[in-house]
Amino acid sequence: MLATDGVEQIELTQPRQALQDAGATVELVSLEAGEIQGVEHMDKGDTFAVDRTVSDASAGDYDGLVLPGGVANPDFLRVDRDAVAFVRAFFEAGKPVGAICHGPWTLIEANVVAGRTLTSWPSLQTDIRNAGGEWVDEEVVTDNGLVTSRKPDDLKAFSEALVEAFRS
């Protein structure tokens, strides 16, 4: 999972738990070592220990990637050159990627949405279309290894689709 401060914590914790329950080993990769600050909407939530910094991580070390949302989290990630390259490397390797809520902002910056159908928090639909993607308002969308979802209410379906994509 790639996240930083401002991550919507339930979008981090619920997919992580679903993947762990399915037998996956999940690492939290972030911009800096230490801990990141989760949020519950606009309020501070819990902190989460970082397993590895993105500058020390390689897509080759992982079977898939999850990009949780929150407004600040993907905004910080999409301006970090290492984070964007890390995301792009998963697509270049044909590995599954999941993104929920505002998470697709980082996909847009990585230039990997053109020709794909995906969903997100509704405010990203123009950004996705401008990047060449097709935005749809659905609970979860899977497109050639890319799993996307709109919001915390969709987490059950998103988590199930992630587990299925990662098993493939």
Active-site positions?
101-102
Residue 138's Cβ-side half-sphere holds a number of Cα atoms within 13 Å equal to 14
3-class secondary structure for 44-87?
A: EEEEEECCEEHHHCCHHHCCCEEECCCCHHHHHHCCCHHHHHHH
Q: What is the CA radius of gyration of the chain?
A: 14
How far is residue 40's CA from residue 73's CA, in Å, rounded to a whole number?
Answer: 12
Residues linked to residue 7 through DSSP beta bridges, in sequence order? 38
Rounded distance, CA 34 to CA 43, Å? 21
Q: CA dihedral defined by 9, 10, 16, 17, rounded to 10 degrees?
A: 130
